[in-house]
């Protein structure tokens, strides 16, 4: 990563994601929301992802593809934890508190929109690592919109199912992001091996 501005962007994104992880994780525990819990784990994953991107900027290009493969695996972690949390939610079916759920979801959306906008110009030029960060931020914006909608539906129905359905959607988005990052890393490896 030769662009100093990009380095500063990645540093900011790592810190912002780590800070909001604590906010969302505590909130999820407090109100019993599986979708906020899944999204908080995703914030932690994003912080780790961007820290690894900074690390990758210090290594030779050959290792960048390998780190891209590792990041594809890292993107699966929130999906696995979401499934585990979802199982416990289904067994209790206690709805989360909708007002706090919507406010925390809106705060998460502000963070993720900011991160996605900062990375959008680098998403194709930065390789699999920057693509991973952009895809993660983009997916998180979609998840945050769904969380806010689920909060309103929960308020209207007093049902736990909107929260569970959104948690399931976050699971599938993380699987798709992991696949895209893996394919991007594989393409980089192919280009690197064919280079003279």
**pLDDT higher than threshold 90 for residue 82:** no
**Total domain count for the chain?**
1
Residue 37: give its domain's CATH number.
1.20.1510
Q: Poorest-confidence range of 27-41, 54-68, 136-150, 181-195?
A: 181-195
Q: Poorest-confidence range of 4-18, 95-109, 148-162?
A: 4-18
What HEC string does the chain produce?
CCCHHHHHHHHHHHHHHHHHHHHHHHHHHHHCCHHHHHHHHHHHHHHHHHHHHHHHCCCCHHHHHHHHHHHHHHCCHHHHHHHHHHHHHHHHCCCCCHHHHHHHHHHHHHHHHHHHHHHHHHCCCCHHHHHHHHHHHHHHHHHHHHHHHHHHHHHHHCCCHHHHHHHHHHHHHHHHHHHHHHHHHHHHHHHHHHCC
**pLDDT higher than threshold 60 for residue 192:** no
pLDDT in the model for residue 194? 60
Model confidence, pTM: 0.79
Confidence class for position 76, pLDDT limits 50, 70, 90? confident
Q: What does pLDDT average to over the chain?
A: 83
**pLDDT higher than threshold 60 for residue 36:** yes
Tens of pLDDT, residues 150-184? 999 999 999 999 999 998 888 787 777 677 767 76
Residue-range definition of the domain harbouring residue 106: 4-194
């Amino acid at each position: 990563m030769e662009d100093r501005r990009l380095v500063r962007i990645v540093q900011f994104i790592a810190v912002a994601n780590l800070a909001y992880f604590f906010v969302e994780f505590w909130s999820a525990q407090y109100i019993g929301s599986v979708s906020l819990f899944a999204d908080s784990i995703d914030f932690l994953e994003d912080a780790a992802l961007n820290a690894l991107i900074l690390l990758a900027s210090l290594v030779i290009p050959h290792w960048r593809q390998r780190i891209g493969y590792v990041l594809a695996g890292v993107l699966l972690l929130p999906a696995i934890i979401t499934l585990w949390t979802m199982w416990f939610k289904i067994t209790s079916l206690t709805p989360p508190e909708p007002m706090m759920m919507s406010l925390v979801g809106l705060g998460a959306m502000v963070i993720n929109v900011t991160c996605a906008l900062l990375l959008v110009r680098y998403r194709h030029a930065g390789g699999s690592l920057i693509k991973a960060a952009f895809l993660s931020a983009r997916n998180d914006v979609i998840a945050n919109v769904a969380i806010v909608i689920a909060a309103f539906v929960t308020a209207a129905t007093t049902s736990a199912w909107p929260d569970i359905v959104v948690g399931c959607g976050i699971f599938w988005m993380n699987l798709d992001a992991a696949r895209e990052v893996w394919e991007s890393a594989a393409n980089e490896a192919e280009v690197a091996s064919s280079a003279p």
